[in-house]
Amino acid sequence: MSTGRFILQSSIVFFLMLNVYSVRAQTITVDGYFNREFKKDKSGNLKRFHYTWDDQDNTGFYKFAEAFKLNGAQKLQLLETAPTLANLKQTDVYLIVDPDNLKDNPKPNYINQQDADQIAKWVKAGGVLFILANDSANADLDHLNLLGAKFGMTFNKDLILHVTDDAHFADGSLNTQGESIFKTAQQIFLKDVCSISIQKPAKSRLKDKNGANVLVSARYGKGTVLAVGDPWLYNEYVNGRLPAEYENDKAMNDISAWLIQQIPVRK
């Protein structure tokens, strides 16, 4: 093959790769309606916190945002109103994290049947949904299960991978080898998680040593749902605080890449 022909073919392949990549809008939206928490800053002003992209404290998703960007996300945003087909239209990946109970918010926005229907329609049309729940003491699972039921998932009011303190990290250890979502992470750490019961179309991706489902997924229409029983990937557990054998930072990158890969190519 001549040098000129090789360069031309390489250029065509590169262009096609860019074109396929670009048709994925890659807008990542985190819910700010079902989880809506505030705290006072040093000046006494109320400030939004917990699982927001710009929160660099232990409570935030700043590190997760960086992982999405490294994997090609073009826009990260916060949705502070109830999700609808209309306001999710430009979203490719939607995260619902730790929905508020009365302990978190005196007036929580509970997921209702209309919300569940709207989100399910969005997923069916090709949306990618990542649900990060929590144990029942710290999240509203009753209303979250209205949504989970759409995809064959039930978030249980139990507590698995219970870790009492930093001297017992091993109690939250999970081996991820063999699970295709995790391309680089081999061992991860989760703490105080709710298990997830499943029926079709959901399937298990990771189980604890007792066989309880920790991470599950489902194909639903043209879309994809991934769910875990804990907020898990917030800064506190991906910022290097954990012992070196726990590769949550790699898992965060693997999850980000996998979610983006599930976005249907739009022609």
Domain containing 224 — which CATH number? 3.40.50.880
49: confidence class by pLDDT, cuts 50, 70, 90? confident
- For residue 242, pLDDT over 60 is answered with yes
Return the closest-CA partner of residue 225 out of 148, 168, 170, 172.
148
Task: State yes or no: pLDDT of 215 exceeds 50.
Answer: yes
Question: pLDDT at position 201, please?
Answer: 98
130 lies in some domain? yes
Q: Which residue has the higher pLDDT, 24 or 196?
A: 196
Interior/surface letters 132-168, b for 16+ CB within 10 angstroms, e for the rest: bbbbbebbbbebbbbbbebbbbbbbeeebbebeeeee
Query: Domain for residue 2, yes or no?
Result: no
pLDDT band for position 132 (cuts 50, 70, 90): very high
pTM for the predicted model, two decimal places: 0.90
Judge whether residue 170 has pLDDT over 50: yes
Nearest to 30 by CA among 99, 85, 86: 99
Phi, psi of 231 (to 5 degrees): -60, -30
Asked if residue 163 lies in contact with residue 196, where contact means CB atoms within 8 angstroms, the answer is: no
For β-strands 173-175 and 187-189, DSSP reports them as antiparallel
Please state, rounded to an integer, the average pLDDT across all residues of the chain: 91
**Is the pLDDT at 107 greater than 90, yes or no?**
yes
- Structurally, the chain folds into a number of domains equal to 1
CA distance 72 to 145: 31
Boundaries of domain holding 130: 9-261
Torsions phi, psi of 70, nearest 5? -60, -25
Is residue 149 situated within a structural domain? Answer: yes
Q: Reduced to 3 states, what is the DSSP secondary structure of residue 172? A: helix
**What's the pLDDT at 138?**
96
Q: How far apart are CA 239 and CA 92, in angstroms?
A: 26
**Residue 1 domain flag:** no
Whether residue 29 is contained in a domain is answered as yes
Q: What are phi and psi of 174, to 5 degrees?
A: -135, 135
Q: Is residue 266 part of a domain?
A: no
* One-letter amino acid for residue 202 of the chain: A
